[in-house]
Structures are given as C-alpha cells and as structure tokens.
A and B are shown apart, each in its own frame.
Chain A
Amino acid sequence: MIKDTEILVIGAGPAGLAAASAAAFLGASVLICERDDAPGGQLVKQTHKFFGSEKQYAGDRGIYIGRRLTGAVRENPQIELMTNATVLGIYDDGIVTVLHDNRHLKIRPQKTIVATGAAEKFLAFPGNDLPGIYGAGAVQTLMNVAGVRPAERVLMVGAGNIGLIVTYQLLQAGVQVAGVIEAAPKIGGYLVHASKIRRAGVPILTRHTVCEAFGTDQLEGVRICRLDDQGQKIPGSEETVACDTLCLAVGLTPLTELCWQAGCEMAWIRELSGHVPIVDENLETSVPGLYAAGDVSGIEEASSAMVEGRLAGLAAAGSLGYRPEQAKEEILAARAELAELRSGPTGGKIMAGLARMREAGKTKGGVFVC
C-alpha cells in the first residue's frame, strides 16, 4: 500500500519540527518521519540556554524549546508524526521508502523536506579505539538523556560551542574536566561559554592536539602536545593527561546521504562543513519539490535551523497553493530573520559558505540557477 501525503518531512529535530508546523500553519497536511524513538533531535539533550532572539526562543533552555516544538506538532491535527521511521530512499517515481517498526513502507509525498541534521566527526590518532573515547554527542546523551554519569575525569578535544557546552554540562554532572584542548590558535565557540568553564577552573589550551591515547583495557591517559604556527607538532612539548574518558568535539558534518541518493546537485563547501545540497533562496534543491533545511544544508546553530525549517515548510506549502499571499509574506519574514542571525562576525563564515554554494550552483546547474 502506498501512503499519500502532501508534505513529507524527514527528521524531527529543530528544522524538521519547525518545517512541519509552518507547512501545516498554511494548511498543508504533513507527515514527519523520525528515525529515533522520540522527536526533538539534538534539542532533547541541550540543557543550556539558547542564544538568538525571542523569535527563536532565546534565553530558554534547548530541552524546553524541543518540547515546545514537539508539543505544537503533536497538537496539530494536520501533522502526523511517525517515530522509529528511517527513510531509506527517495526514488525517481516520487516514492519514498521507509523502515518503520520492522515494516517497509512506501510513501508518495508531493513535496519533501530533508532535515536529517548532522553527524559528529572523529579524529585519527593511535589508541583512538580504546573504550572511554567518545564523541561529545554520546557523552551528552548518556548524561542528559539517560541520566548516567559518563566518566570520572575527562579531557575534552575541541573548543567550539559543543566542546565548551559539553564541558560545562560535565561539570554540572559532577565530572572532573582536566582541560579543553583545541588545535586552532583561537577558541571557536562563543567566548561567554569559554569564560563560564574557565571560571569554574577548567583550563583551555589552544594550539594543542592529541598525540596518542593509552591504556590496557580502557583509556587511562592521553598524551597531548603543542602545535606551532603551521599546525605542526612541536617536538618535546608532549604532556600526559590522566583521564578515563576522552571526549571528541571536533565538528559536525551534514548527513546528506538522502540528498546524494535523490540526485541533488551537491557541492563541497568548507564553511558549511562538508558536502551540501545546492539550494535556492527557498531552500529547494536541484531536485524539484525536494527541500533541505537545518544542518543537512550546512552546519550552523539550532536557532537558524529552526528558521530554515520554517522557511522550507512555508515554501513547500506555498508551492502547493496554500495561502500563497500569506506564504510569501512569511517567507520574507523568515529570510529576514536568517539574515539578521547571520549578519554579525560569527555569521560571516556561513555567509561566505552560502555565497560559494550559490556560485557552485551557477557553474554546475546550467539551467538551475539559485
């Protein structure tokens, strides 16, 4: 049996939930497929307060923003939320296949919004397969979702926002953090996050990297060293840090498998943290009717993921003919919000990445100009 839906949203994180609500707001009926057993995406473990403006619920804790977005979706009779539903493929005949509770479903959407998010990057070094070496996301899940204290003493790798925030949350869970090391010469995350852990006594060492991890049956310590201006290891600068857990927060990469498989024009954009689908100003990819919103189209903050989701949801529903005037107005408002979030120095990287993505779209697409 084929299940028909007007709009299919893949992923129930901040972008997907916002996309579904926006599309339903205009009158479209929406099906969300989420591969996890609960909606919310990464918001379910973000116990810190979010940045941005009140339009993106700034000042509220991520976990409550997730509950709010999920609540709005659950209350909306226009939206069906399917969890334990992994989208497997998007086909030329318009059929999308889904694995749901061990059953293979076929869905025929008129429009599809890919909001699959991102995956953590890993780091290559001797000993990196020892038990006790985690991605920061896993540590956060253990602590903030499962309520398990994940370690006694941690060394954090990466001073981007995730590394800084997870360090703070480890301290809140009563875990010792030996330090945060960062290969770059500067702290990449927000400095207020850095100052927060610094005044709790955690040193932040820029220009430092992992040489190797060691331990007999599990991690017992890590050797770190300093890096010179060229990013090369400085001989003789090695130090040993005793710890039972090494937490890697070395960046995210967009989860674009479905975009590749659907045949979207893709481009590798460093500033957007990997290969991303080329999208137009409505976030529509080169495959007509297929949209990409949130981290899948470039790694950014959850606040912008929510706005991107809203924009894609409005554009998809608008293109189906739902309240076109209202859609147009709301789309302009969402674009203005994104422009505002990206207008400062921290948004510069994203803006440069988006410009390169558009350039790539012109060269690659020929007919497809974004």
Chain B
Amino acid sequence: MLIETGIPTAEDLQSVTPPAGRLARGAVAIAECFQKIPCNPCTRACPRHAIRIEPDINETPQIDYEACTGCGACIARCPGLAIFVVDMTYSDSEALVMLAFEFLPVPEAGQLACGLDREGKELGWFPVVRVVSGGKENKTYTVSLAVPRELAMEVRNIRAGGYQNGKQNG
C-alpha cells in the first residue's frame, strides 16, 4: 500500500496511466499524484491548460491526454516531483522518460545514468538525452532518459553521480 510504503501499487498506477492508444501516439504527461492534498501549481504550469484540478484545490490532477503534447513544462513545477512524461515513440526499441531531478551532480546529455525504479532499485544504465534547468529559483532539472520501451513505466529516478561517458545508443 502506498500509504504504508510510499510505493504506488499497480492499481494506483493503472488509474493514472494514459490509454494505450494515446501512449502509442507520442509524448504524454503522467501525474503519479494519488492523494488529495491542497495543491495546484501544475494547472498553471501547462501552456495548453491540459491539467485540471476541479472542483477544488484538494482534488488530484486530471490530465486531458488529447490536449497534452508531452512538452514537460509541468515536470519542474510540481512541488511533489510527481509528474513524468513518457514518449513511447522515441525510437524503435526505446522510450523517452522525462523526470524531475534535484541532486548534484547534474548529468550531461550524452552521459549514461543509472536508472532507478519506484523503490530505488537499479534498472540499468541509460543514455541521458537532454537536461533542462527549471531556472534560478525553481532549481529543478528535467532529465530525459532513453530507456528500453518495456522499462518506460518503471524508470522513475536516476542515481546522483557516477555518470558514465558512454555512447548514446538511441
């Protein structure tokens, strides 16, 4: 149970996963935000108003997957670091996972980072495709990682440091 361990269950995840058809069409945001807490910065972060928290601030976010372009503007804005973007169409065998990162050192594009799952278990070394700073006050980085497609719904963090200067295989 999420409330005992901090790890969302398969059922929890099912409830926030976009439909397969939408995932197959490209990048889309996934909000792993399961608890009703008073919080809504994600709704203002989205340039396309695709994230709604209604009728009141305590609701969990609902993403309009048709309106969402997977731009990732919401990722660094979420105080809970709970929003991810997954692009299943990144390459023939890989998906792109965009995640929030707030540790030093920050990886550079082209390096390999150790991908972690929702329990912090290592899933392998994956190429960092892009790193975007959230800005001077926001300070959250958005790291895009190319992972084997079957791990797109598993990789949710990277280990800070130890990055390898490997070749991108994407």
Contact = CB atoms under 8 A, between A and B. Distances in A.
The answer to whether A and B come from one shared complex is yes
Interface of A: 48-54, 58-61, 64, 171-172, 185-187, 190-202, 204, 206, 303, 340-347
B58 A345 contact: yes
A51 B39 contact: yes
24 contacts: A49-B140, A51-B38, A52-B57, A59-B44, A59-B45, A59-B79, A61-B137, A185-B4, A190-B37, A192-B32, A192-B33, A192-B79, A192-B82, A195-B7, A195-B118, A196-B80, A197-B6, A198-B118, A199-B117, A199-B120, A344-B36, A344-B56, A344-B58, A345-B36
Interface string B1-38: 01111111000000000000000000000001111111
Contact of A346 (B38, B79, B103): B38
Given A191-B6, A199-B156, A344-B59, 9 more contacts: A172-B103, A172-B104, A190-B37, A192-B82, A198-B118, A199-B157, A201-B121, A204-B6, A340-B38
A323 B64 CA distance: 45
A332 B37 CA distance: 23
Interface of B: 2-8, 32-41, 44-45, 56-59, 77-82, 102-104, 116-121, 137-140, 156-157
A187 B58 contact: no
Given A54-B44, A198-B118, A198-B120, A190 B35 contact: yes
B56 A343 contact: yes
Given A51-B38, A53-B57, A344-B56, A193 B80 contact: yes
Contact of A191 (B34, B56, B58): B34
Nearest to B39: A51
Contacts of A60: 137
Main secondary structure of the interface of A (DSSP, over half): mixed
Closest CB pairs A-B (n = 7): A344-B58, A201-B120, A192-B80, A59-B41, A194-B6, A198-B6, A49-B79
A341 B38 contact: yes
B6 A346 contact: no
Contacts of A190: 35, 37, 80
A169 to B, nearest CB: 10
A192 B56 contact: no
Contacts of B35: 190-192, 345-346
Contacts of B116: 199-201
Contacts of B5: 194, 198, 204, 206
A204 B4 CA distance: 8
A196 B41 CA distance: 18
A204 B8 CA distance: 13
Contact of A202 (B2, B59, B77, B120): B120
Contact of B39 (A52, A187, A199, A206): A52
Contacts of B81: 192, 196
B37 A346 contact: yes
A303 B38 contact: yes
Given A59-B79, A60-B137, A195 B58 contact: no
B38 A347 contact: yes
Contacts of A200: 116, 120, 157
Nearest to B35: A191
